[in-house]
Amino acid sequence: MTKTAWVFPGQGSQAIGMGGDLVDLPAGSAKFAQAQQILGWSVPEICQSQEDKLSSTLYTQPCLYVVETILVDMMLEKGHQPDLVAGHSLGEYVALYAAGVFDFETGLRLVKRRAELMDSAAGGMMAALMGFDREQLEQKIQQTPDVVLANDNNPGQVVISGTPEAVESVLAGIKVKRAVPLKVSGAFHSPLMASAAADFQQILKSVEFNSAKVPVLSNVDPTPVVEADVLKERLSRQMTGSVRWREISLQLPLEGVSRVVEIGPGNVLTGLIKRTCSDLVLENVSSAAQVPAS
């Protein structure tokens, strides 16, 4: 029997117009209305706005969470079930929702606060690197204070995060085919997020987690677990910890997974996984029309 993993993209996968096909569906309209009560603004309006408010962290994270969870509901309603789940950064919250660790409202309230804290953590910089010598890069990072490997996405793509001076110093000291500064407000997934992470951990403490119905691979630890307390502890480290996506990808076949479905806008994660594990069957569900029949 085929084992299937569901994976969920995070910030960077958003696109103007996403979720537009979900607005008039019963599953979508109810969730969008509930989200507006919690957030105080309309997810569909932000997603359709030509002013590109969607690229602001404050809006990006809640919008991705809402759109992706609606698609999860549609998958579940059609009788589809994952054997394993994982999400990239913000996507981990959707993975936990899909695994039954918390309900829609609980997850959205966490994501709303996470977005507010991360949006206010100014002063840092992130850059995506493509085409580099990993050993040289890791050595240079070790020699440079205030910069870390924030996202280890696949063998040929990573993101570094830190102070602007430190990030520029790393880029100046290594050979890299392409480096792209990211449009983010701070140095996410680095120790520079410690203050925001401490505030968020206080919020997390008061939230009750259920044990997961299927194993979850966390960003900070790619080994599969279902225990509620472990999943919460891992999530509490996520804001300052690295996203170990390359290791998550490598773990999938070790768990017997042969099929991966990326649920959410775009195809960033299936693209990353293909580079790491070329034998996996990769599928995408980014709209209602792409939800497979039961």
pLDDT digits (tens, 9 = 90+) for 235-294: 999 999 999 999 999 999 999 999 999 999 999 999 999 999 999 999 999 999 999 997
Average pLDDT, the chain: 96
Percent of residues, the chain, with pLDDT higher than 70: 100
Residue 200's closest CA among 120, 124, 85, 95? 120
Q: What is the pLDDT of residue 142?
A: 96
Domains 3-121+190-290 and 125-181 share a fold: no
Flag whether pLDDT at 1 surpasses 80.
no
Q: What is the pLDDT of residue 97?
A: 98
Q: What is the mean pLDDT of residues 221-238?
A: 97
Q: What is the pLDDT of residue 243?
A: 98
Q: What is the mean pLDDT of residues 99-116?
A: 98
Question: At CB < 8 A and 24+ separation, what contacts does 223-227 make?
Answer: 223/251, 224/84, 224/251, 224/255, 226/99
Residues 43-94: pLDDT tens digits? 999 999 988 899 999 999 999 999 999 999 999 999 999 999 999 999 999 9
Q: What is the pLDDT of residue 294?
A: 79
- Residue pair 262/284 in contact by the 8 Å Cβ criterion: yes
Q: What is the pLDDT of residue 159?
A: 97
Integer CA distances (angstroms), 141 to 35, 160, 167, in order: 40, 9, 9
Q: How confident is the model at residue 123 (pLDDT cuts 50, 70, 90)?
A: confident
Q: What is the mean pLDDT of residues 216-232?
A: 98
> Which class does domain 3-121+190-290 fall in?
alpha beta
For the annotated catalytic residues, the residue numbers are 89, 189
CATH superfamily of 125-181: Malonyl-CoA ACP transacylase, ACP-binding (3.30.70.250)
Residues 149-165: pLDDT tens digits? 999 999 999 999 999 99
Question: At CB < 8 A and 24+ separation, what contacts does 269-274 make?
Answer: 269/7, 269/8, 269/9, 269/13, 269/88, 269/91, 269/245, 270/7, 272/153, 272/154, 272/157, 272/245, 272/246, 273/7, 273/154, 273/249
Ordered by start, the domain boundaries in the chain are: 3-121+190-290, 125-181
Residue 68's closest CA among 15, 131, 121, 134? 15
Residues 162-195: pLDDT tens digits? 999 999 999 999 999 999 999 888 899 999 999 9
Q: What is the mean pLDDT of residues 5-10?
A: 98
Buried b (16+ CB within 10 A) or exposed e, 258-276: ebbbbbbbbbbbbebbbeb
